[in-house]
Amino acid sequence: SPSHGGEYDVERNQMVNEVMADAAATASSSGTSALSPQVVAAMRKVERDRFVPGWLSSLAYLNRPLPIGHGQTISQPFIVALMTELMKVKAGDRVLEIGTGSGYQAAILGELAGSVYSIEIIEPLGNEAGERLKTLGYRNVKTRVGDGYYGWPEAAPFDAIMVTAAASHVPPPLLKQLKPGGRMVIPLGTQFMTQSLMLVEKKPDGSVATRQILPVRFVPLTGGH
């Protein structure tokens, strides 16, 4: 909005510098790559203060998860950047996100992909994020309320899929909706045990390779599946 005068630009750049330092440290310990210029540019552009509750906007550029209501969180910026990097999104890609939450991750993906489909199971969060993304002008991001375990079959197949809540296993419907050659990033594990961020690659021949990236802590993937 015109009243939003970039009051947090300095803080946002500081945050991105911290995220890049975290990514570089993780690259040497976990064999991931440093952040690409495209992911860095998206992180520098998207105004995270627009995606957190008003009373937390002054904390929006801490490199930390923050509460967004309904017992849910907006993820730590470093984790957002790392998961985005692992997806290797190319211009024109069709991307699916499970767990819209605030819509922040969807906006980051929207900066990089051709189209983004994002599903949230908590109706008020999903509706609010959808409105927010519309207001901010993300015409290439579609949201809907539902159980993301089953994916978005009408929009499949996807070049990349990101799950932003911890699941006990890779949901078979999501694997099915991933293109051969596509990548899925998903935290696996329970709420009470260490979870692992996993990179799942569907090879061009349809076989699946899974790699453990990093210990993480996410809210659980809920739903009736």
Comparison of 31 and 167: residue with beta carbon closer to ligand SAM: 167
The reply to whether 218 sits near ligand SAM by the rule CB under 6 A is: yes
The reply to whether 223 sits near ligand SAM by the rule CB under 6 A is: yes
State the distance between the two ends of the chain, measured CA to CA, in whole angstroms. 40
Here's the x/- map for ligand SAM, 87-116, by CB under 6 A: it reads as -----------xx-xx-xx-----------
- CB of 70 closer than 8 Å to CB of 218: no
Comparison of 32 and 72: residue with beta carbon closer to ligand SAM: 72
Kindly state the smallest distance separating residue 66's Cβ from ligand SAM, in Å.
Answer: 9
Comparison of 73 and 115: residue with beta carbon closer to ligand SAM: 73
Does 75 participate in catalysis according to the annotation?
Answer: yes
Catalytic residue chosen out of the listed positions 3, 33, 75, 102: 75
Kindly state the smallest distance separating residue 207's Cβ from ligand SAM, in Å.
Answer: 26
Kindly state the smallest distance separating residue 195's Cβ from ligand SAM, in Å.
Answer: 12
Q: How far is CA 27 from the centre of its chain?
A: 19
Count the Cβ atoms, other than its own, within 10 Å of residue 11: 16
Residue from 32, 73, 84, 115 touching ligand SAM (CB under 6 A): that is 73
Interface stretch with ligand SAM, choices 15-23, 142-150, 190-198, 199-207 (CB under 6 A): 142-150
- CB of 12 closer than 8 Å to CB of 41: no
Kindly state the smallest distance separating residue 130's Cβ from ligand SAM, in Å.
Answer: 13
Nearest partner of 171 among 107, 223, 104, judged by Cα: 223
Residue from 141, 160, 165, 184 touching ligand SAM (CB under 6 A): that is 165
Cα–Cα distances in angstroms (integers) from residue 161 to residues 23, 121, 206, in the given order: 21, 16, 16
Nearest partner of 140 among 180, 160, 113, 161, judged by Cα: 113
Kindly state the smallest distance separating residue 60's Cβ from ligand SAM, in Å.
Answer: 12
Q: Distance (Å, rounded) from C-alpha 186 to C-alpha 99?
A: 11
- CB of 215 closer than 8 Å to CB of 196: yes
Which helix (H) or strand (E) segment holds residue 96: the answer is strand 94-98
* Residue whose token pair is 């994916």: 151
Comparison of 32 and 73: residue with beta carbon closer to ligand SAM: 73
Residues annotated catalytic, as ranges: 75
